[in-house]
Structure 1
């Protein structure tokens, strides 16, 4: 393999200094047109590609932002990345036979937003996922390779985040604001679920309702459950009278819980903590010939694409998933520009979207 050309080769061919070559590549408008053209001709002739490592070393930056998500058996990060790399999320009309295709759209959309904002600001995005004892080692490893790190709330200990934050900016995604010194970016989960459940209980006069929550370690789910309980209180319904099932945010688990619920009775409404779970419930109701919304009302939360194409279409709370990713990257770059900024907490608004499953 031939030796790769260097900046010195370009400078020699163009009869300029290496500083001029650097200025042409970084700020071409700051160099005279004739000089710029001569340098670019040399770059093209030699096939020169600037070294990102050399630039990073000189600037003491990597120009890379890290994003850490927990590893789950149902989370295929590589598939999510392949979809998010400049491509729109495919529209899937699910006939009930698809599971994996729609399991991870929340992560996909957040990733896509982070990638878009990183590209706009001249950064690359490094994504990592890990579980159990490997998380600490993985977070330390990725933190040594990036200029800033965004992590999903409750996936990394505060002690580890504080250790990392001594060197690079740290942003926590999801969950409520905490006085921990980190920047936080989240969606309005509690008020969103409160408004949605209030519609189910108020507009439809429902008293016989079941709630399917997500995993106990999810900060978003905790806020949504609080919002649901607030709606019960406002409707004068005793909280202990309402069954609450614990899911894991997957469509498959939604199906299993749907079967358990129907083994006892058919409630008038099933309120779910996310869309995948609600889609699983719809699968079970359709298979049993139970009409939605005539017999049972079903709602979700997130606003994923599949909910717009389910049978019937899914009433949900749309949260700005792409904007969450973008806001996390924006917070990191803002702190890189000004490390003295006070810790910021940004809560993005949500919107209740009424569709056929609960008009």
Structure 2
């Protein structure tokens, strides 16, 4: 006995059942407030009776909108290639030792939170979110992928460093686009932008180290040279030193690349050479966690012998030993604000560009302050 899939009801069937024109049905679906209530009720009854499901793509074409946003993220885990994956169809369980010296990497935690914020706000706004990652791809490939995505969405959210500047320039002239973290530096473009107070946050933290703890020898564990966050944070580091009559050129800079494992190795080397500063100021939390681990292995007292600080405020910093002093930025709200700004741009394309800067909070914890009594 064969079965046949019943024919799906169409907008033509709904119009015939309701006794109205196709244009009226379409208008009732797109802008129901512009259709008389009695007519709208008749159309809804016909839709329910026939089991009609509106076509999202058709509605999008009619309204010249897709109901989707695109998000471009940079290389989140620093891999150049991804191996082929072939899933095993096997009902099995395997025991495997997990040695404690295998340090987990957390390079994408910041982006995870920003992405979550974009997802939440997209849901709240009633639109879907398409995500792409420029994972070790060549410039030409990234350009092609960006162009393809641009044809499927109403607007783009672009995290700094995820697309070449010339691609951002091209896309911004074609469709609504919001930059997250920073705008392109090599081309003069006037774009909507959402970022956090990186410079002010780092300056406030370093000023506290100098004023409250009398720190005079500091070192800076930096991120990638092309990171706008790293650039602004280093500006804040230098600003604090200069405002306290200190020479920032004398403070060593170590290239940790925002990597926990690289920061671990750098700190191990500083310990071996007996060149630890009084305070190791890290441009992100992952590097600070790597430094804490290396110092703990060497039985170096924190903060008695050295102060360690981070930046971002990821959850792991509240569980480290000692808990990490850090600058918490509103990562999830950064994503939400970017989506809100993009929706404003889509709905009001002629308005001037906006630049939002979200405040940060310096969280003073045990890696800087020593013992703190628990709340309550």
Distance change >3 Å, CA 58–CA 75, structure 1 → 2: farther
Paired residue for 1:8? Answer: 12
Indicate yes or no: 2:219 matched with 1:246.
no
TM-score, normalised to structure 2, is: 0.82
Residue 290 of structure 1 is aligned with which of 300, 314, 318?
300
Structure 1 residue 75, shift from structure 2 partner: 7.4
Residue 307 of structure 1 is aligned with which of 317, 327, 338?
317
Which deviates more, 132-141 or 4-13?
Answer: 4-13
Which deviates more, 261-270 or 14-23?
Answer: 14-23
Paired residue for 1:226? Answer: 235
Indicate yes or no: 2:175 matched with 1:165.
no
Given that 2:222 and 2:230 are in contact with CA atoms closer than 8 Å, whether structure 1 keeps it comes out as yes
For residues 79 and 368 of structure 2, the distance between their equivalents in structure 1, rounded to whole angstroms, comes to 29
Paired residue for 1:124? Answer: 128
Give deviations 1:256-287, integer Å, cap 9, x for gaps: 22212212223321110001111111111122
Give deviations 1:146-179, integer Å, cap 9, x for gaps: 1111212244333322221222012221137975
Note the residue ranges of structure 2 that are not aligned, 5 or more in a row.
81-99, 370-376
Residue 99 of structure 1 is aligned with which of 98, 101, 104?
104
Which deviates more, 253-262 or 233-242?
Answer: 233-242
Given that 1:175 and 1:223 are in contact with CA atoms closer than 8 Å, whether structure 2 keeps it comes out as no
Given that 1:75 and 1:104 are in contact with CA atoms closer than 8 Å, whether structure 2 keeps it comes out as no
For residues 154 and 315 of structure 1, the distance between their equivalents in structure 2, rounded to whole angstroms, comes to 27
Distance change >3 Å, CA 250–CA 36, structure 1 → 2: same
Paired residue for 2:344? Answer: 334
Given that 2:157 and 2:338 are in contact with CA atoms closer than 8 Å, whether structure 1 keeps it comes out as yes
Task: Give the secondary structure class of the aligned counterpart of 2:195.
Answer: strand
When Rg is computed on C-alpha atoms for both structures, the one with the higher figure is 2
Task: Give the secondary structure class of the aligned counterpart of 1:317.
Answer: strand
How big is the alpha-carbon RMSD for the aligned residues of Structure 1 and Structure 2? 2.6
Structure 1 residue 26, shift from structure 2 partner: 4.4
Structure 1 residue 7, shift from structure 2 partner: 2.2
Structure 1 residue 192, shift from structure 2 partner: 0.8
Given that 2:325 and 2:368 are in contact with CA atoms closer than 8 Å, whether structure 1 keeps it comes out as yes
Paired residue for 2:150? Answer: 143
For residues 267 and 111 of structure 1, the distance between their equivalents in structure 2, rounded to whole angstroms, comes to 36
Given that 1:176 and 1:186 are in contact with CA atoms closer than 8 Å, whether structure 2 keeps it comes out as no
For residues 140 and 326 of structure 1, the distance between their equivalents in structure 2, rounded to whole angstroms, comes to 24
For residues 215 and 252 of structure 1, the distance between their equivalents in structure 2, rounded to whole angstroms, comes to 14
Aligned length, in residue pairs: 340
Note the residue ranges of structure 1 that are not aligned, 5 or more in a row.
77-94
TM-score, normalised to structure 1, is: 0.85
Paired residue for 2:163? Answer: 156
Structure 1 residue 51, shift from structure 2 partner: 0.6
